[in-house]
Structure 1
Amino acid sequence: MALTGTVARVGFFAAVVVVAAAVGTALVGSAGQSAPAVSEVDAKSFNSDGAVADVPAENGTLSMSADADGKVVVIDTAHSASIDREELSPLVSTLTENGATVRYHVGERQGGRPLNASLRSADALVVVGAQRHYTESQLDGLSAFTDAGGRVLLLNEPSQATSAGLGIVISLGSEGVTSPMAPIASQYGLAYENGYLYNMHQYDTNYRSVYATPAGDSALTEGVDRAVFHAAIPVSGGEQAVTATERTTLSQTRRQDTYGVVARSGPVVAVGDTNVISQEYLYRADNEELVGNVLDFLVSGQKSPANAPQPAGPSQSGPGATVPGSGGTTIGGGGGAPAPQPTPESPATPESTATPEATATPDE
């Protein structure tokens, strides 16, 4: 029985082989037909003229037109501990070559000073994808800093980005905005929306690398024809400076629109992407022109008083407490003279020949 079954199976497979060979011969000899030419295939992946990926030129030089001599720019790493400082080297180099001093604010946890003390001797602050919340005292100090003429640059990423720009790794399990950035932006009428932007119709090598163009003529967009933003989030409020191109979609709503990705509100510029200042994307399209304009913005403020935010006065519950908004008027305690203010820190002398790591020192 076993042998009979084996013979039967062998005969069956032999028949299949014969039939397959006959069919193959018939196909080869039929009317000389061949596969359609690539140009006849209605698929963008085969037709280079219809390709959606548009690779922009990567050239240019990051430069500034503003004089940054004597200016101090603080980069907050205390609230964004995972920043790869190597990615910031083009910014640090450009600022220092133009006369600015760049410092990293490492925070009290790493033996540094409080944020308000760091701002006291600064002219500009850069916040990149903050992951730790700011205290009320820090937010008040930041408000006093900008009221005095200090400049602020906010750069943010979608919270679900697993490998965001500048080495930031954020994974909160949702597409919500990194919440520590929200209170800062809202103080200036700005907001980061939820989700990330993508464009399936025109993009730079990846559908999440969207193109954006100037929303109008401004100092921030001078020399910018088109920029590239990767894993970006929309920025609303303020004056829109750069917006995504048409048919760009927001992942949270699946709605297409020309979303804002760079906006300005007085002394603050908000950018919905950290990759734009990274070495990988800095020289895509006109990104270096845009970033150079942002650096000009940072060092163009005139801060007065120079030591804002000033230290908080004595507790209002004790003698000699200062009445907010009273110009230093005291209540109780016999109207004693206000405590003397500490002397503002002297900015370090910039060294144009120093390396970025040597110039951008921790704010101790």
Structure 2
Amino acid sequence: MDRNELKQRVDDIRSTVAARIAEYKQRVDDIGSAVAARIAEYVTLDQRAIKRRLGVVAGILLVAGVLAVVGSASIPVGGGESVTVESHQPEAILAEPPAENGTISVNSSIPRQTVVIDQKHQNPAISQSSPLVEGLVAADHDVTIHKSGSIEEKLDTADGLVVIAPKKTYSEESLDSIREFAATGGNVLLASDPKRVGAKANTGMTQLASEQGLGFESGYLYNMETYNTNHQNVYASPVDNGSLTDGVDRLTVATGHPVIGGSGAYETESTTVLSTTEREDSYTVVAQRGTVVAVGDRSLLTSEYAYNSDNNVFIGNLIEFLVS
């Protein structure tokens, strides 16, 4: 093959390659145009959908506006009479926060007593139970905080013991001391912290409660029909006319859990549900067995809930129980 033939062959190959490149480029352009057209189609559809949704929202807002006007105005119905739609009045729509008032009153004729509050077993900070502590001090009783050492020494000169939601377990020595204290007339208040499903069991409280024939069910209580602002803030009413219920119409219990054993002092309404079983029933949230009182919700003792419903009266009753 001479030089001219070789040159011709190379030119032919170049022409073929150029033609193929042009063909592929055209295909790419066609595909790009098709994709662009499809994207434009989807965008148009989305815009239409958005417009339709905006139209629906606008319609809803318009209806809501009309209802608001109807609810706040009287509608003429003929004969000069008018009808007011009470269900759309502002006072019927807006939730009214619970009243928070009252004081914590304690019988001043009770001689000065000493109450020990456990803080050694990873209990909540003492400030979280300030209404109880302040009530004790205001009634001229002594408060001893147990943070270290043997609890037996502190209980030797005490009249009452408060244990709130301990996270640490108790030694056998401490359990023996508390058991003996309760058996010889010392008054004990056990306030648990409701645990949610899957939460770690409160073993410290489980120990103490079981020693006294009491216990706390797992899960929390709620009521979708009757509640205080939030469905987890359920109402509990007195079961009897004992010293723990004196002057109390009802309590607000925040995500409390049921107390097992003893004599029930307060029960929730029958429409209350336990989260772990979803069973609707009345549940005991405060119970007493001998000189021990178990409360299924420590929030009753906090500043946040102390003045909801008759919780403040109940705290006063607890103080009198501890120092009696």
Fold match, TM over 0.5? Answer: yes
- Deviation per CA, 1:314-346: give whole Å up to 9, x if none: xxxxxxxxxxxxxxxxxxxxxxxxxxxxxxxxx
Q: Is the 8 A contact 1:54 1:202 kept in 2?
A: no
- Deviation per CA, 1:77-131: give whole Å up to 9, x if none: 00134x2222233222221221211011002xxxxx2011111111100000011
**Partner of 2:67 in structure 1?**
37
**Partner of 1:79 in structure 2?**
121
- What SS class does the counterpart of residue 252 from structure 1 fall into? coil
Q: Hey, what's the Cα distance between the residues in 2 that align with 1:152 and 1:236? A: 16
- Deviation per CA, 1:3-42: give whole Å up to 9, x if none: 976996799699879989x999x99xxxxx95673689xx
CA RMSD of aligned residues (A): 3.6
Q: Hey, what's the Cα distance between the residues in 1 that align with 2:89 and 2:104? A: 36
- Structure 1 alignment gaps of length 5 or more: 28-32, 108-112, 161-172, 301-364
The amino acid that maps onto 1:115 is I
Pair 1:92 & 2:133 matched: yes
Deviation at 1:239, TM superposition (A): 1.1
Tell me how many residue pairs correspond in the alignment.
272
> Which of 209, 226, 230 pairs up with 2:254?
230
The amino acid that maps onto 2:233 is S
Which residues of 2 match residues 126-275 of structure 1 at below 5 A? 126-160=162-196, 174-175=198-199, 177-275=201-299
Deviation at 1:59, TM superposition (A): 0.4
- Deviation per CA, 1:146-172: give whole Å up to 9, x if none: 222110000001233xxxxxxxxxxxx
The amino acid that maps onto 2:101 is N
**Residues 231 and 120 of structure 1: CA distance in aligned 2, closer, same or farther (over 3 Å):** same
- Deviation per CA, 1:183-241: give whole Å up to 9, x if none: 32223221111111111122222221111111121111111111111121100211111
Deviation at 1:272, TM superposition (A): 0.3
Q: Is the 8 A contact 1:53 1:204 kept in 2?
A: no
Which structure exhibits the higher relative contact order, with contacts defined as CA atoms closer than 8 Å and separated by 6 or more residues? 1
Q: TM-score, normalised by structure 1?
A: 0.65
Identity among equivalent positions (%) equals 37
Q: Is the 8 A contact 1:58 1:285 kept in 2?
A: yes
Deviation at 1:46, TM superposition (A): 8.0
Q: Is the 8 A contact 1:195 1:250 kept in 2?
A: yes
Q: Is the 8 A contact 2:98 2:229 kept in 1?
A: no
Q: Hey, what's the Cα distance between the residues in 1 that align with 2:43 and 2:195? A: 61
Q: Hey, what's the Cα distance between the residues in 2 that align with 1:243 and 1:52? A: 29
Q: TM-score, normalised by structure 2?
A: 0.72
Q: Max radius of gyration: which structure?
A: 2
Q: Hey, what's the Cα distance between the residues in 2 that align with 1:15 and 1:193? A: 58
Q: Hey, what's the Cα distance between the residues in 2 that align with 1:126 and 1:34? A: 57
**Residues 244 and 47 of structure 1: CA distance in aligned 2, closer, same or farther (over 3 Å):** farther
Q: Hey, what's the Cα distance between the residues in 1 that align with 2:261 and 2:103? A: 31
Q: Is the 8 A contact 1:158 1:176 kept in 2?
A: no
Deviation at 1:52, TM superposition (A): 11
Pair 1:299 & 2:320 matched: no
**Residues 128 and 9 of structure 1: CA distance in aligned 2, closer, same or farther (over 3 Å):** closer
**Residues 221 and 48 of structure 1: CA distance in aligned 2, closer, same or farther (over 3 Å):** farther
Q: Hey, what's the Cα distance between the residues in 1 that align with 2:200 and 2:94? A: 28
**Residues 34 and 90 of structure 1: CA distance in aligned 2, closer, same or farther (over 3 Å):** closer
**Partner of 1:56 in structure 2?**
98
